């Protein structure tokens, strides 16, 4: 990931230094397990523990020659350990190191993402939802005014969705936390399964129940899909903000800081640049998810067509999601909301937003639904064409006034009916006690 979107706490997880540190830890743990079984002398284990280390620059130099990262690593470690290095990597294959380390990195990255989501983003959304629980605005379907909602209900919907995303990601992190120390094709031909059990227990991983040369990539695809759907949710929310920020709407707006510039050409511009950036990033995560799905089908006990892909998509996707959550949390916290514009837009259709109430009332008076719909739509189309008041139009329609009084009609144009269950919805979403 380019430095512009890389945050240091996530970047560190995927660094060469972190990867080699995990490799060394795994190799030492395997030696401990083998020493416990009498396969490595205690003195050799002591030497390995004391002397085993690595130099990242040196590993990369060796890799230039041998064209194999694990061999380069082992060669460098041997330079520090000396003759007892012959006991390192006994019975292992490269993927024992690679996949067990990858599980540790994906778990650590997932926990960092979950921490940001649960500790920062969800509380920010909850706070703003409660703040605007009763802030009335127009709801839209197909981009067209439908019926009244509250801005808080929009945020409550986001809150509920983000809780689902957190639950799926938590399960995906658990599923991918699998270690593998089972040898070349997963048969434990040169290692007792107890070695794998010892190493995984020390690392807090579950041993893969069945593996070949690798941990199967369905769990990685599940993890990546969880990230992609989370990215899609964030994009959905930011697209909503982008629509609400349009000049003709202007019901909500990204915070525009002092000294910020919106356009190199037009000094008046205040653009939703963070929202647009997050929309673009979601496309990257979705594309990476497709690559993860394609990684599932490998030849026989393995090939390495997945390897180059994962070196890119896993660091990049976790870096992107983490960055997106950081930006989205700040976006929500500082979002500018304009209730007066919401009220203005609510009134733009001169009462047409109450058409369903009128339809139901006429049906309740004994008209067929078809006749009631015809009458209401006829008057509604007149409002669209002539820009007149809907209630007044209904009051001049003999078919309407023949079955319903003026007082009853006026009561149908009350906003309260649309907000009476807001508290119920908030409680169901866990936003109210």
The answer to whether 80 and 53 are in contact (CB under 8 A) is yes
Plot region of 99 (φ>0 → left; ψ -120 to 50 → alpha; else → beta) = alpha
Encode 129-159: b = buried (16+ Cβ within 10 Å), e = exposed. Answer: bbebbebbbbebeeeebebbbbbbbbbbbbb
Q: Which of 142, 257, 268, 300 is catalytic?
A: 142
Instruction: Please provide the DSSP assignment of 46-73 as one string.
Output: HHHHHH----HHHHHHHHHHH--HHHHH
Q: Are 203 and 104 in contact (CB under 8 A)?
A: yes
How far are the Cα atoms of 153, 190, 207, 314, 386 from residue 214, in angstroms, in the given order? 46, 16, 12, 17, 70
Residue 206 contacts residue 234 (beta carbons within 8 Å): no
Q: Where are the beta strands (DSSP E) in 143-214?
A: 144-150, 178-179, 206-207
- What does DSSP assign to residue 186? S
CA-CA-CA-CA torsion sign (329, 330, 334, 338): negative
Among 277, 266, 276, 254, smallest CA distance to 332 is for: 254
- In the residue annotation, 211 being an active-site residue is answered as no
Choice among 68, 190, 194, 263 that is catalytic? 263
Candidates 223, 221, 227, 220; CA nearest to 324 is: 227
**Whose CA is closest to 384, among 342, 426, 353, 360?**
353
Active-site annotation holds for 142: yes
Concatenating the DSSP letter of every residue in 260-285 gives --S-SS-TT----HHHHHHHHHHHHH
Inter-CA distances, 121 with 92, 224, 333, 344, Å: 42, 20, 9, 30
Q: Is 209 helix (H, G, I), strand (E, B) or coil?
A: coil
Q: Are 23 and 48 in contact (CB under 8 A)?
A: no
CA distances from 46 to 37, 50, 51, 201 (A): 15, 6, 9, 21
Q: How far is CA 149 from CA 194, 268, 398, 414, in A?
A: 60, 31, 31, 13
- By DSSP bridging, strand 178-179 and strand 206-207 are parallel
Neighbours of 125 (CB within 10 A): 25
Active site residues: 142, 263
């Amino acid at each position: 990931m380019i430095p512009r979107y890389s945050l240091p706490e996530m970047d560190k997880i995927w660094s060469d230094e972190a990867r080699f540190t995990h490799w060394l830890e795994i190799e030492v743990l395997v030696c401990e397990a083998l020493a416990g079984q009498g396969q490595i002398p205690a003195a050799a284990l002591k030497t390995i523990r004391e002397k085993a280390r690595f130099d990242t620059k040196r590993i990369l130099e060796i890799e230039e020659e041998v064209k194999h990262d694990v061999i380069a690593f082992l060669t460098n470690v041997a330079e520090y350990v000396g003759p007892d290095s012959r006991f390192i990597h006994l019975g292992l294959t490269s993927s024992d190191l690679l996949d067990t380390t990858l599980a540790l990195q994906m778990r650590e990255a997932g926990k960092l993402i979950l921490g940001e989501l649960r500790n920062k983003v969800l509380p920010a959304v909850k706070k703003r939802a409660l703040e605007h629980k009763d802030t009335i605005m127009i709801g839209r379907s197909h981009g067209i005014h439908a019926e009244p909602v509250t801005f808080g209900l929009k945020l409550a919907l986001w809150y509920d969705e983000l809780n689902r995303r957190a639950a799926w990601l938590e399960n995906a992190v658990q599923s991918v936390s699998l270690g593998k120390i089972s040898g070349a094709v997963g048969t434990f031909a040169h290692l007792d399964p107890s070695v794998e059990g010892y190493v995984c227990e020390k690392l807090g991983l579950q041993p893969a129940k069945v593996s070949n040369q690798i941990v199967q990539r369905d769990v990685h695809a599940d993890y990546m899909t969880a990230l992609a759907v989370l990215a899609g949710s964030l994009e959905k929310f930011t697209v909503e903000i982008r629509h609400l920020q349009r000049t003709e709407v202007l019901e909500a707006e990204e915070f525009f800081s002092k000294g910020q510039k919106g356009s190199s050409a037009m000094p008046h511009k205040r653009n939703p640049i963070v929202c647009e950036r997050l929309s673009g990033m979601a496309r990257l995560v979705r594309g990476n998810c497709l690559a993860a799905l394609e990684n599932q089908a490998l030849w026989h006990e393995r090939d390495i067509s997945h390897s180059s892909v994962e070196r890119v998509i896993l660091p990049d996707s976790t870096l992107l999601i983490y960055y997106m959550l950081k930006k989205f949390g700040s976006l929500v916290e500082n979002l500018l909301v304009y209730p007066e514009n919401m009220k203005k837009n609510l009134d733009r259709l001169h009462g047409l937003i109450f058409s369903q109430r009128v339809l139901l009332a006429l049906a309740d008076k004994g008209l067929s639904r078809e006749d009631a719909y015809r009458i209401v739509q006829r008057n509604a189309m007149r409002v669209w064409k002539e820009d007149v008041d809907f209630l007044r139009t209904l009051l001049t329609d003999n078919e309407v006034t023949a079955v319903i009084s003026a007082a009853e009609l006026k009561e149908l144009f009350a906003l309260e009916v649309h907000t009476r269950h807001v508290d119920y919805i908030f409680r169901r979403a866990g936003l109210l006690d």
